Amino acid sequence: MDIDYDSQQSKWSIGLFECGGNPSTFFITWGMPCVTFGQIAEVVDEGKHSCFAHGLFYNILMTVSCQWLYACTFRRKLRAMFGLPSAPCNDCCVHLCCHSCALCQEHAELKYRGFDPCNGWIGLPKAHPLMPPSMERF
């Protein structure tokens, strides 16, 4: 399935409060948000850090209730990747007020755009311009 990224850049694929659309993502996010966040962050930062590293740092920030600040930076990067609007309000407000819903929305957006956050950076679609270069054997 070929995805035309340019034609899909005007709005989010699901609304902020449609977090129940994918039950497995919903339950994982509500029970262990570090997992969903780690998956999102690994793809958004193009594999620079692993899902585990992002999730661990997220958990450390949870101890002082600042994980939403870290997550809002990745929402901003995700929006920039796809030209998405800052809706219904700015990224930090979204994560402060509706953190789990924001994570579900971001996870769904990556899936809609052809990524598989569960597989991390290596799960990128073959034709995506952000795909890391393949190492061919000679």
Domain count, the chain: 1
Which residues contact residue 61 at a Cβ distance below 8 angstroms, ignoring those fewer than 6 apart?
67, 69, 70
Q: Looking at the domain assignment, is residue 8 inside a domain?
A: no
Question: Of residues 129 and 105, which shows the higher confidence score?
Answer: 105
Calpha distance 96→109 (Å, rounded):
19
Calpha distance 34→134 (Å, rounded):
29
Query: Alpha carbon of 56 to those of 53, 60, 89: distances in Å?
Result: 5, 6, 27
* Single pTM value for the model: 0.79
Please report the pLDDT score of residue 136 as a whole number.
44
For helices 99-112 and 33-44, what crossing angle results, to 10°? 40
Q: Looking at the domain assignment, is residue 4 inside a domain?
A: no
Q: Looking at the domain assignment, is residue 134 inside a domain?
A: no
Q: Looking at the domain assignment, is residue 53 inside a domain?
A: yes
At residue 102, what is the residue type?
Answer: A
Task: Name the burial class of residue 19, with classes exposed (0-12), middle (13-18) and buried (19+) by CB atoms within 10 angstroms of its CB.
Answer: buried
Q: Looking at the domain assignment, is residue 133 inside a domain?
A: no
Q: Looking at the domain assignment, is residue 13 inside a domain?
A: no
pLDDT digits (tens, 9 = 90+) for 52-91: 999 999 999 999 999 999 999 999 999 998 889 887 888 8
Contact of 74 with 41, CB cutoff 8 Å: yes
Q: Looking at the domain assignment, is residue 132 inside a domain?
A: no
Q: Looking at the domain assignment, is residue 39 inside a domain?
A: yes
pLDDT digits (tens, 9 = 90+) for 119-137: 877 755 554 555 444 444 4
> What is the extent of the structural domain holding 33?
21-123
